[in-house]
Structure 1
């Protein structure tokens, strides 16, 4: 008991520290678990032979992961993505598999071993890549979308690979019957049956799973929900996955395959999201434990004795996969930068590689030495993935941006000088232009969206194309003779830089600036804007006024309350701007916090006075035209 607790503590403690450090460094949780296993195993020697037994338990995390992947893959979604899935994803797996099989056979390995190695190395790391895409905002780029399609296909392709791996066993039926957790151990009821009986029972088991999750599971879930025992839903979900995994094992099929089929069957269920939320913590725990055992079981003695061959194999893998991915990106007409992201981000092997490695070893497909070498190659390729993203960010992305800037459309020459300059004609600036133009004022409008500029020109609205953050453009818009500048850009940093430029060169020119939020408003006022408009403040207050009316407050009183609140909010923003310090965060600014508490308390007291029939004339002074002409935030 004591040793069990000690080993549990070692695994959990090193996992927590390593994953937190890995996340801090932007390396992802999977690499954190691998590193934790390497530290407690080969480096410090805290754990040893028990890792193999623990890994058999931890592999249940893979079963859960496949169940959750299935839940996300509704059949109609797969049909909608069929072109990218079969095109990019299918070609990537087939070409990579073919290239690796050819290389393996040229080195003297049998075709069975070559196919096993190809399956193991052709898949990429879904966990690392998707997490990095999300963290770096790359998911919506063409390269990110293409990468997601390939990863999705790989997740689906992993299922037949799991089923194929035992069939590659050199020793035939005897070898197939010699593995453990993947359904071919002593608990396999069909171990000594004829092939047609095995095939018939296997098909029947799959059909039974489909019918069970389609018709029986929903009824059982409704009964569980009616019990109102909260933990019962978690117990039922675990029971479902474990039961399906057990059924697949006893008939000689992969538990992960059964879990995936069940997940797809429940993908359209109303309870899908609740099942995901209940299983996610268990999946994360078991998968983390699985990756720790993989790291702990790595043969560092082999790495030390064959360092250059292992490194050579790892770099060769990255090069082969990146080349194939780059060519596919070219064939499918991805933009240049997206091709580079696509190729670099998916060049590594993935977590499914460890699963396939384990199955291949259990079925005597791979020798012990080859298993150890491939484990090192898979792990090292994953460890190098953050470096590939750094190369993309620091080398390819800046170069592509520089080339794009050189080839981009030059800003229009501006020859007119109008009293009002409007920078930005989006959803905010268009109303300003319409109002001032209707009142007879002439505006010089600048926008950096070429499509919008061309469209506005067709409507008869003269608009100049250009990036208002560039000093050379600001010097040509007629600031010297302008009476007012209105900055209606949606980009926070761009607006602040423009205000600083205008205030430095034209200190007396009035500036109205659009603010993204209250914090951005402080930055604009600090930069020198005369009047700042928070883009959603007025509409939000109007929504609040309608809400008051729907809650039973008289319309006239609701209007007065909203006016008082709006005035007090502007007053609060002005007071906070006076104590704003750009060098520290707002939550660390004690003076700012004190002012907020004081003004907020006063505002609540005024609102309560009005609600109880009293009168507050404070806001009338602050709503006067003279007040609006002063520097302030609205």
Structure 2
């Protein structure tokens, strides 16, 4: 009976609707290569109080497929934004943020000031009071961190520019909200005092987090890594995020500031990739809840009654923001294609626009009807953001195709070699790659090996290569080659099979225990499988031949010949007429490239 009551509770009903939406939206939209962002917003429209929720009183059974407590979802939506900012911090690290300081506080500040000023001037020109015009201008000048960063790669020029502007907007969110409080007609100077108080205490708390985190987080995650328990790793990650968010929230700063700081701190450790992989499903689900709440806020009847005005307002905001941002990037030396794509990508309003609009309404700077109108415009803008991203990419390609003949070609960086396993063999491979000037990154799930390797100057990170999409996160898609050095036959076979399925042309060189294991790896898709027993025999023969006076040149030639004979024999015994991946000559060409 108790179980029946639990299942019929509004919270459980809403949870089932959300999980069902995620289970349908994500695979269906991924199947058609469409971002699930649109799907979640459409689900919010359908199951929200302005969709099927209108019919619950007439048809009670609809309560099982609608959201009955929209306000109860807000905390989950906020948690999704917190996890998103945490993941941004993981990608940054202090070194990268310091390297981007001119972009963040130069480009970012200029973009917000210029776009906000242009929008403020427009609203003032059409009769809005100056304070209200400033509130609307600053609100609509913000762009969506939640959506933009899911649609771009922060290692590209477009991604770096977007990230710099979004980071400054997130930093500026708290001062904006306090500024609106200070401008409120009922404020009597308290807003400025409260702003100063918050900034002082916020600075002290952030400083304390930076100092304590630098010393406490590495041993915390090292202990979690030694347990080999993903659950404990997840618990440690969420604990850090929640404590940091609560600390900054207690001072009056936004919890997202604490989440960003927590991500930056963990990014300085060797565990950042593993943490990012573990929290990814939770971040996606929480962000999906947020997008559902956006969809639920849209009243289709009001949209229909004011359709022309809403469309004109949405298009106007997008055109103005894309023009200002694109021109600013061009003035700062960006390529036309980069400026075009970034401007269009950043042109829609943001999830934080809704926060600022609410604050402006609470401060009585704008009327409730005005706030509702621009909330609908914001929701519509968020809905079309994926479409704007596609349009921006297409226009950028066309612009670059015209501009390209006049631009000097940039020499591409050498792709990195990915070494999986950093024991005795992995370290030797890293030494040889470094000696020949080849960039690499090594991955191992043994925290002691990782810590020791980093202490000695090796590029090595903590991660479980056999789980999830870890190899993709470590750059397998663009790697020059992947070298598997671990002495774990089953894991090596599984990794080879997954890599070959995901990346058909990727060179994969794997360590094998013996000839039988090598044959298994070849069948799984390895380019080369090197049996330890074979190599020890060849090295022994080489030492003996040179010791008894045989010239080194003929010895090396005969060793290579014998190695090829063994490889051919192994493949024949394994039922392979030819290697399933690249031939040796192709591999060497790839290495030269």
TM bucket, shorter chain: 0.5 to 0.7
Matched residues in 2 for 1:352 and 1:561: separation?
62
Aligned to 2:463: none
- Structure with greater Cα Rg: 1
Give 1:319-338 correspondences, 5 Å limit. Answer: 319-338=319-338
1:11 aligns with 2:30: no
Q: Are the structure 2 counterparts of residues 322 and 249 from structure 1 closer, same or farther at C-alpha, using a change threshold of 3 Å?
A: closer
Q: Are the structure 2 counterparts of residues 360 and 306 from structure 1 closer, same or farther at C-alpha, using a change threshold of 3 Å?
A: same
Q: Give the C-alpha shift of residue 314 in structure 1.
A: 0.4
Q: Give the C-alpha shift of residue 37 in structure 1.
A: 0.9
Contact 1:84 1:146 in 2 (8 A): no
Q: Are the structure 2 counterparts of residues 34 and 194 from structure 1 closer, same or farther at C-alpha, using a change threshold of 3 Å?
A: closer
Contact 2:152 2:159 in 1 (8 A): no
What TM-score comes out, normalization by structure 2 length?
0.61
Matched residues in 2 for 1:194 and 1:519: separation?
59
Other structure's SS at 2:269 match: coil
Q: Give the C-alpha shift of residue 285 in structure 1.
A: 1.7
Aligned to 1:159: 171
Aligned to 1:382: 382
Aligned residues: 428
Give 1:99-110 correspondences, 5 Å limit. Answer: 99-110=118-129
Q: Are the structure 2 counterparts of residues 280 and 326 from structure 1 closer, same or farther at C-alpha, using a change threshold of 3 Å?
A: same
Aligned to 1:630: none
1:77 aligns with 2:62: no
Cα RMSD for the two superposed structures: 4.1
Unaligned runs of 5+ residues in structure 2 are: 1-5, 54-64, 409-413, 415-502, 506-521, 542-557, 578-593
Contact 1:163 1:254 in 2 (8 A): no
Q: Are the structure 2 counterparts of residues 295 and 245 from structure 1 closer, same or farther at C-alpha, using a change threshold of 3 Å?
A: same
Matched residues in 2 for 1:286 and 1:335: separation?
36
Q: Give the C-alpha shift of residue 306 in structure 1.
A: 1.2
Contact 2:341 2:393 in 1 (8 A): no
Aligned to 1:237: 237
Q: Give the C-alpha shift of residue 100 in structure 1.
A: 1.2
Contact 1:162 1:254 in 2 (8 A): yes
1:283 aligns with 2:283: yes
Unaligned runs of 5+ residues in structure 1 are: 178-192, 410-426, 428-517, 521-536, 570-598, 605-634
Other structure's SS at 1:15 match: helix
Q: Give the C-alpha shift of residue 7 in structure 1.
A: 2.0
Q: Are the structure 2 counterparts of residues 167 and 602 from structure 1 closer, same or farther at C-alpha, using a change threshold of 3 Å?
A: closer
Q: Give the C-alpha shift of residue 194 in structure 1.
A: 8.0
Q: Give the C-alpha shift of residue 25 in structure 1.
A: 4.3
1:115 aligns with 2:123: no
Q: Which moved more, 1:158-167 or 1:312-321?
A: 158-167
Aligned to 2:581: none
Aligned to 1:168: 180
Q: Give the C-alpha shift of residue 59 in structure 1.
A: 0.7
Q: Give the C-alpha shift of residue 310 in structure 1.
A: 0.9
Q: Are the structure 2 counterparts of residues 37 and 220 from structure 1 closer, same or farther at C-alpha, using a change threshold of 3 Å?
A: same
Aligned to 2:248: 248
Other structure's SS at 2:267 match: coil
Q: Are the structure 2 counterparts of residues 356 and 23 from structure 1 closer, same or farther at C-alpha, using a change threshold of 3 Å?
A: farther
Name which of 73, 81, 86 aligns with 1:67. Answer: 86
Q: Are the structure 2 counterparts of residues 302 and 199 from structure 1 closer, same or farther at C-alpha, using a change threshold of 3 Å?
A: same
Contact 1:34 1:291 in 2 (8 A): yes
Q: Give the C-alpha shift of residue 342 in structure 1.
A: 3.0
Give 1:173-572 correspondences, 5 Å limit. Answer: 201-225=201-225, 230-357=230-357, 367-392=367-392, 397-398=397-398, 401=401, 544=529, 549-552=534-537, 559-560=561-562, 562-563=564-565, 565-566=567-568
Q: Are the structure 2 counterparts of residues 205 and 403 from structure 1 closer, same or farther at C-alpha, using a change threshold of 3 Å?
A: closer
1:250-303: CA deviations, max 9, x gaps? 333321122223333443123333332333322222111111111112222221
Q: Give the C-alpha shift of residue 319 in structure 1.
A: 0.8
